[in-house]
Amino acid sequence: MRELSKTAYGGIEGKNYVPYEDGRHSKAGNLIVLVLGILLAILFAASTAYSGMKAGLTVAAGIPGAILGSGLLTIFIRKNNFLMKNILQSMATGGESIASGLIFVLPSLILIGGQVNFFQGVIVGIAGVLFSIGVLAFIQDYLLIEEHGLLVYPESMAISETLVASDTGGDSLKFMGIGFAIGGIITLLTSGFFGIVNNYISYINERTYKWRFEMEVNPMLLGIGFIVGMKISVTMFAGSILANFAIVPLIGYLAGMASEGQTVWNDATTPLNQMTVAQISGSYARYIGAGMMISGGIIGAVKLIPTIVQSVRNTLAARRGAVQGERDSAGIISLFVGVIIAFVFGFVFTGNFLMAIVGAILALILSMLFVIVAGGLTGTIGTSNLPVSGMTIASLVILSLVFLIMGWTTDGNIQSLLLFGTFIVVAISVGGGYSQAQKVTFITGGNMSEVRKFFIVAGIIGVVTVVGVITLLRDQLAYVGDSPPFALPQANLMATLSQGIIHGDLPWNTIIVGAVMGIVMQMLGLSIMTVAIGFYLPIATTAIVLAGALVRYFVEKFGDRDALDERISSGVSLSSGLVAGCSIIGLIGIILQVTHVIEPGSPTGFMGGNTIAWILLALLVIAFVLPLMGVKRKSVPMDNCE
């Protein structure tokens, strides 16, 4: 059985590396590949946008994209073209990376009372895509080839191994199908579609010690928990425990001592001493969580300063000649068009010449710095752990301070600021996804110039898809009250941060408390952003994510130990299917509900109680675990035996 060479992981200069297949000067793309790639870009952009806005977490698309791409090629082309599979995984990554960026900032426009204009969102997003790819086109030889072995690109290597092992993709595709079916069926039964069965477990105590425990039985979130594993899931859930069983009860206890006539700071109709758990969370605890995320983002950005300096220094010192001769006009054109669009949308959307110039220049400079950093960091930690939030927070702080100094403080000005922020976050996110996809191309032997063009197409399609999803969901995203359908932790933070700096009308005491808590967590060596997201998200979300991690722990500890790797790999495929099934069926349900084709029910009696939700959870876990426990170790070919 052919395998990746050991030199794929280093031990040799990049210019001397012999790839798995030498297709560097040939082209594998055609119309069928383009169409299939567009479908994958739409699928992963839509599902990532939906899951990311709901849970604050996204799932990398490289591996599931490679699996689905292999299956689709088998169906439509009926031949095992390895380099075509690489193009498809690159386009899947392109769609997912767009969603991972756009959902951080663009929904903030809705949260501050504005509207997401579809045309504006698409133009800003496309500008970010083109600029990011244009910048990286000039330094990709340095990052991917000259630094071969020094920058490992762990997720790129995992995708490459998946592509090489794609002759076993039938099993992976089967498990993705099982996951899609499970997620789709449960979504059809619950509030995401017909609303026949309650899927929300809820226990709330409104007495002296006020607390809340809830869990949303959501297959998508269970699958995300399986993928991210125990460490991240437990850390997030710890943040929820801190919020719901320590901070909320403490605030409730102290508020109960308030004298009559004192009201909640942002609701003059609610007496301070009569706040419910939901009101304490919405008016006070969430701002402590925002403070934690702000401090985490700023600390993360400060820690990146040496990396930024080193990245820029290395880039300037890198050899100008392209090792593979891949540097073509596409990169130059992409960069040029991205810059032009940035200035044009600045003029058109702000209506202020000076604001357009200042905003565009700041956005371009910050984007260029953080795109370079993102490309390098992806080589160390992969895109799943890329600190996009931290880099975006640092950028928004700088933009907000400049807008404040210049006197641009109206609501319209803040919307313009957030559009510039959207450009920056898209560029950063695409920088990580693009460099990861191109490293796979280098390792496997594809044509980098060809993949760049297909990635640009996927990026543009991803922008249109995600902006369309956000526009479609605007009423749900604007929901005010307890248990919103979409938590939007990052977008809420960006809205809070930009408005807070410019208007100064926030409960700064609670934000400062959260920031101090974040500093203490940093001193204790904890992941501030992970704890803060758990603190900010509803406990119903983090509880089911933890349940998914516990399922993974069970799968790892029980069953055939020799088949552990195969079982976990199949579990990741099944989880990816859950995410896709819930997201796509959920989006279809929302479209049908918005157009009044269906009217979701409100389950009552036994079907509307906690008991049925617990039963649904048990059935979900059983349906998830049973297929995995039957996975057996694949036999090793005799040729590989020593």
pLDDT digits (tens, 9 = 90+) for 88-102: 999 999 999 998 889
pLDDT value at 3 more than 60: yes
How many Å apart are CA 457 and CA 461, to the nearest integer? 6
- Burial call 68-102: b when 16+ CB within 10 Å, e when fewer: bbbbbbbeeeeeebbbbbbbbbbbbbbbbbbbbbb
Q: What pLDDT band is residue 506 in, cutting at 50, 70 and 90?
A: confident
Q: Mind spelling out the 3-state secondary structure of 522-548?
A: HHCCCCHHHHHHHHHCCHHHHHHHHHH
Across 494-604, the runs of DSSP E, i.e. the strands, are: none
Report the b/e string of 580-618 with b at 16+ CB within 10 A. Answer: bbbbbbbbbbbeebeeeeeebeebeeebbeeebbeebbe
Confidence band for 639, pLDDT divided at 50, 70 and 90: very low
If you average pLDDT over residues 308-324, what whole number do you get?
Answer: 56
In this structure, of 20-24, 130-134, 268-272, the range with the lowest mean pLDDT score is 20-24
The residues, any chain, with a CB within 8 Å of residue 270's CB and separated by 6 or more, are 263, 264, 279
Q: Find how far residue 360's CA is from the centre of its chain.
A: 25
Q: Using an 8 Å Cβ cutoff, are 153 and 382 in contact? A: yes
Q: What is the tens place of the pLDDT at every residue in 155-180?
A: 888 788 778 776 544 577 788 889 98
Residue 423 has pLDDT above 70, yes or no: yes
Confidence of residue 296 (pLDDT cuts 50, 70, 90): confident
Cα–Cα distance between 519 and 528 in angstroms, integer? 8
Nearest to 251 by CA among 228, 276, 230: 276
How distant, in Å, are the alpha carbons of 146, 178, 219 from that of 181? 44, 5, 11
CA distance 285 to 299: 21
Mean pLDDT of 372-378: 83
Digit-coded pLDDT (tens) for 549-595: 999 999 988 877 777 878 887 888 888 888 888 888 888 887 787 77
- Least Cα distance to 429 among 140, 93, 46, 101 occurs for 101
pLDDT tens readout for residues 24-57: 777 878 899 999 999 999 988 998 898 888 767 6
Max mean pLDDT among 52-61, 199-208, 496-505 falls in 199-208
DSSP H helical ranges for 56-81: 62-76
* Per-residue three-class SS string for 120-153: HHHHHHHHHHHHHHHHHHHHHHHHHHHCECCECC
- Indicate the range of 128-137, 323-332, 552-561 predicted with least confidence: 323-332
DSSP string, 226-273: HHHHHHHHHHHHHHHHHIIIIIHHHHHHHHTTPPTT-EETTEEEEEGG
pLDDT of 1 reads 47
pLDDT of residue 326: 45
**Unique residue bearing structure tokens 């490679």:** 66
Residue 493 · residue 529 · CB < 8 Å: no
In angstroms, the CA 543 to CA 588 distance is 26
Across the chain, what does the average pLDDT equal?
A: 85
**Contacting residues for 324 by C-beta, under 8 A, at least 6 apart:** 24, 141, 145, 442, 448
Residues with Cβ < 8 Å from 344, sequence gap 6 or more?
none
Q: Is residue 499 within 8 Å of 294, Cβ to Cβ? A: no
The three-state secondary structure class of 213 is: strand
Predicted local distance difference test score (pLDDT) of residue 211: 95
Between residues 209 and 65, the one the model is more confident about: 209
Report the distance separating Cα 239 and Cα 248, nearest Å: 12
Of the two residues 423 and 292, the one the predictor is more confident about is 423
Angle 354-346-457 (CA atoms, 0-180°, nearest 5)? 155
Q: Which pLDDT score, from 0 to 100, does residue 322 have?
A: 42
Q: Give the pLDDT of residue 455.
A: 95
Q: Which amino acid is at 489?
A: P
pLDDT of residue 79: 66
Tokens of 632: 């057996």
Averaged pLDDT, 476-502:
81
Which two tokens mark 403? 């807008």
Indicate the burial class of 176 (C-beta count within 10 angstroms; 0-12, 13-18, 19 or more): buried
258-262, 411-415, 527-531: which has the minimum mean pLDDT? 527-531
To the nearest 10 degrees (0 to 180), the angle between helices 329-350 and 353-381 is: 140
Q: Judge contact between 219 and 183, C-beta under 8 A.
A: yes
Q: Which residue has the tokens 């226990």?
A: 203
For the chain, report the end-to-end CA distance as a whole number of angstroms: 14
Check pLDDT > 50 for residue 389.
yes
Whether residue 359 is predicted with pLDDT greater than 70 in this model: the reply is yes
List % helix, strand, coil for the chain (3-state, nearest 5): 75, 5, 25
Question: What gap in Å lies between CA 598 and CA 594, rounded to an integer?
Answer: 8
CA 33/CA 126 separation, integer angstroms: 22
pLDDT of residue 638: 42
Residue 284: exposure state from Cβ atoms within 10 A (0-12, 13-18, ≥19): buried
The residue type at 328: D
Question: Does residue 641 have a pLDDT over 50?
Answer: no
Which of 75-84, 190-199, 493-502 is the least confident region?
75-84
Task: Answer yes or no: is pLDDT of 471 > 70.
Answer: yes
Residue 215 has pLDDT above 90, yes or no: yes
CA 177/CA 171 separation, integer angstroms: 10
Q: What does the pLDDT average to over 525-551?
A: 89
Residue 369: strand, helix, or coil = helix
How far lies 384's CA from each of 59, 192, 250, in Å?
A: 7, 27, 35
User: Residue 488: which of 498, 474, 502 has the closest Cα?
Assistant: 474
What is the three-class DSSP state of 291? Answer: helix
Closest CA to 531 of 543, 551, 517: 517
CB 577 within 8 A of CB 222: no
Task: Report pLDDT for 51.
Answer: 81
CA torsion, ordered 384, 387, 393, 396, to nearest 10 deg? -80
- Mean pLDDT for the stretch of residues 82-91: 90
Exposure b/e, 182-211, CB count within 10 A at least 16 = b: bbbbbbbbbbbbbbebbbbbeeeeeeeebb
Torsion on CA atoms 483, 283, 288, 384, rounded to nearest 10: 30
Q: What pLDDT is recorded for position 321?
A: 43
Which residues share a beta bridge with 256?
Answer: none
Name the residue ranges covered by the structural domains of the chain. Answer: 44-165+295-477, 177-287+531-632
Q: What is the pLDDT of residues 142-152, one digit of tens each?
A: 888 888 878 77
Once rounded to an integer, what is the mean pLDDT over residues 467-489?
Answer: 83
SS3 216: strand
* Maximum distance among all Cα pairs of the chain, rounded to whole angstroms: 82
pLDDT for the residue numbered 323 = 42
- Structural tokens at position 221: 């979130």
What element of type H or E holds 214? strand 211-216
Predicted confidence band of residue 482 (pLDDT cuts 50, 70, 90): low
